[in-house]
Amino acid sequence: MPRCIFHLDLDTFFVAVERLLDPTLQGKPVIVSPGTARSVVATASYEARKFGVHSAMPFAQARRLCPQAVIVPGNFPAYQKASCAFFHILEAFSPDIEPASLDEAYIDYTNCQELFGPSLSAAGLIQRQVKSELGLDVSIGISTSKAVSKITSDLAKPSGILYVLPGYEAKLLAPLSIRKLMGIGPKSEPRYRAHGIRTIGDLAQLPKTLVTRVFGETGRILQNMARGEDYSPVQRRQSAKSLSHEETFAHDTTDREFLRHALHRLVCELGYRLRRYNLRTQKLCVKVRYADFSLHTRSQSLPRPTNLDGRLFETAVSLLDRLLIRRVRVRLLGFVAQDLAKHDQQLCLPDTPARERLDSLLMAADKLRSRYGYSIVQWASLLRREAE
């Protein structure tokens, strides 16, 4: 069975997110750039591209080409949030996802057709879901390889889906400029042009031995791509094995209350991160660096995986107590969550009513934090200490 590889690319991603934040930007030429004399264009809306503005162009030049454009400085946390939501949608369609950037991904859909139907209808489903849940447009290229799908999604823009029938890859690519091939940029293009290679088809039909002799190993790989022969696998994102937080104190200290309080803060921050990534931990580690720079750690497995502040702190504080047997001042305190597992892979056992009340309180706090920032909700015990 031929492979079925999707390349998905959100259309003018930064601009699209900016327009969600400020709908008055709709329909206007928009340039995302710090807007300083030496800065470059991060991305430009289609309206600005009509004037010749494109990504990576010096801002001053873009300004000259399109003086009426609205300049926005960029909002990275908002882009990141949208990106996470995008990948979250994709995760439901295939376990084999390779992120290529914040707004680009490859999916190996070959073995998923039984679940979500033929590739074209799945692509339609993804497109509609991304639009309805995130308000963003995504273009999707589908073919038997990553290289071809990457080019195809570009041809499908804006917000299109393009499917290349197996066996027709080279035909589709042939008339396109050599620049469309991944790996051929403004520096290498003239070398190929000097040999009369203008289109992908030109490269495809040259004898292999000649290409290897003139352009080396890179040329050979590019020629394979030009012929639609790319067998590189979709490489699944390595999920984190552990998450950690640490703090180096302004002054070395032996104050136990101070250290417990600092640990509580680290635990809460890490708990929040675990819950946001939908992860639980099964092993905790507390580390202490003393004023003499020696590093000491204690770790402990948990009876069951968790991501709840209270449970994390119970174990963490007992580890800290076991560490603080020396009367040496502490310079750094760290907290590590190890043996991470996705939330839904774990059996969820019922808990005591008091615990459940606490958990739902935590969930409500997380909701507020995801909207207004982490520090909007804090445990009173943490605030009291800070006020002292």
User: Which residue is listed with tokens 């873009």?
Assistant: 62
Choose between 14 and 163: whose C-beta lies nearer to Mg ion: 14
Instruction: Say if residues 297 and 285 touch (Cβ distance below 8 Å).
Output: yes
User: Minimum CB separation from Mg ion for residue 348, in Å?
Assistant: 37
User: Minimum CB separation from Mg ion for residue 103, in Å?
Assistant: 4
Surface-to-core class of residue 288, CB atoms within 10 Å of its CB (0-12 exposed, 13-18 middle, 19+ buried)? buried
User: Minimum CB separation from Mg ion for residue 86, in Å?
Assistant: 10
Rounded Cα gap, residues 261 and 353, in angstroms: 27
Q: Of 18, 47, 98, 104, which residue is the catalytic one?
A: 104
Determine the size of the site formed for Mg ion (CB under 5 A). Answer: 4
Rounded Cα gap, residues 301 and 307, in angstroms: 13
Q: Is 86 in the site for Mg ion (CB under 5 A)?
A: no
Q: Is 13 in the site for Mg ion (CB under 5 A)?
A: yes
Candidate segments 12-20, 31-39, 46-54, 272-280, binder of Mg ion by CB under 5 A = 12-20
Candidate segments 100-108, 302-310, 338-346, 379-387, binder of Mg ion by CB under 5 A = 100-108
Candidates 18, 47, 96, 103: give the one binding Mg ion (CB under 5 A): 103
Rg (CA), the chain: 26
Candidates 5, 7, 9, 184: give the one binding Mg ion (CB under 5 A): 9
Query: 3-class DSSP state for residue 338?
Result: strand
Choose between 154 and 269: whose C-beta lies nearer to Mg ion: 154
Choose between 55 and 338: whose C-beta lies nearer to Mg ion: 55
End-to-end CA distance of the chain: 68
User: Which residue is listed with tokens 């390889």?
Assistant: 145
Candidate segments 84-92, 99-107, 270-278, 286-294, binder of Mg ion by CB under 5 A = 99-107
- Paired with 243 in beta bridges are 337
Looking at residue 99, its amino acid is P
- Region of 302 please: left (phi>0), alpha (psi -120 to 50) or beta: beta
Q: Is 18 in the site for Mg ion (CB under 5 A)?
A: no
Instruction: Say if residues 307 and 343 touch (Cβ distance below 8 Å).
Output: yes
Indicate if 104 belongs to the active site: yes
Choose between 44 and 112: whose C-beta lies nearer to Mg ion: 44
Q: Which residues bind Mg ion (CB under 5 A)?
A: 9-10, 13, 103
Residues known to be catalytic? 104
